[in-house]
Amino acid sequence: DPDVVLIGEMRDLETISAAITIAETGHLVFATLHTNSAAQSIDRMIDVFPPHQQPQIRAQLANILMAICSQRLVPAIGGGRVVAAEVLIANPAVRNVIREGKSHQLDAIIQTGADQGMQTMDRTLVGLVQSGTITYDSAREFAVDLTEFERLMRG
C-alpha cells in the first residue's frame, strides 16, 4: 500500500477522478497539469467534469488540496533555463474560494500569502531579474500581470 502516488499528467476525467479518490483515502498525490497558474490548474481539473458534477468536485478539491506549484522555464542569462514558480498553499481562504467556484480570486490570495509560503509568478520573476539570473525582457515575457510585475520592479 503506497503512501505517495505520482500521476504523470492529469488530462482527462478518469485520471483526475482517480487522483481525487486516492487523495481522499489519505495518500499524498503528486500530479502534473499543463497550465500556467494555480487558478488555471483548479479550473482545468473542474472543467473536465460535467456541469452537474462540478460543485461536488470543487468541494472535494477544497478538502484534499494541499498546494499547487506552477513552474515556467525561463531563459537564463548565459544560457540554459531557470525555474520560475508560483506557489499556492491551501489555507482556509483558498479552500473557500475553490468551494465557491471563484478561482479568479486565487491570485489575490497568493499575493497576500507570502507569510504562509505563497509566491506569485511575477514576484519570482522580479527576484530572478534582481539577482541577475534572467533579463528584464525575459521576465516581462513570462509575467502573468504586467502592471503588477512593473509595480514590483519599481519596489
**pLDDT at res. 2:** 84
- What total of structural domains would you count in the chain? 1
Give me the CATH number covering residue 102. Answer: 3.40.50.300
**pLDDT at res. 1:** 74
Angstrom distance (rounded) from CA 6 to CA 11? 14
**pLDDT at res. 100:** 97
**pLDDT at res. 34:** 93
Helix axis angle for 121-130 and 146-154, nearest 10°, is 40
**pLDDT at res. 58:** 98
Q: Is 137 exposed, middle or buried (0-12, 13-18, 19+ CB in 10 A)?
A: exposed
**pLDDT at res. 19:** 97
Mean pLDDT, consecutive 10-residue stretches, the chain (155 aa), reads 91 96 96 94 97 98 98 97 98 98 95 96 98 98 95 94
> Could you count the other beta carbons within 10 Å of the beta carbon of residue 5?
15
User: What tens digit of pLDDT does each residue of 126-142 get?
Assistant: 999 999 999 999 999 99
Output the CA torsion 89→56→9→117 (10° steps). 0
**pLDDT at res. 6:** 96
User: What tens digit of pLDDT does each residue of 86-100 get?
Assistant: 999 999 999 999 999
Angstrom distance (rounded) from CA 35 to CA 143? 14
Angstrom distance (rounded) from CA 29 to CA 19? 7
Q: Provide φ and ψ at 145, rounded to 5°.
A: -130, 100
- In terms of Cα–Cα distance, which of 23, 49, 46 is closest to 103? 46
- Print the domain residue range for 135: 4-154
CA 127 distance to own-chain centroid: 18
487558478: which residue's cell? Answer: 39
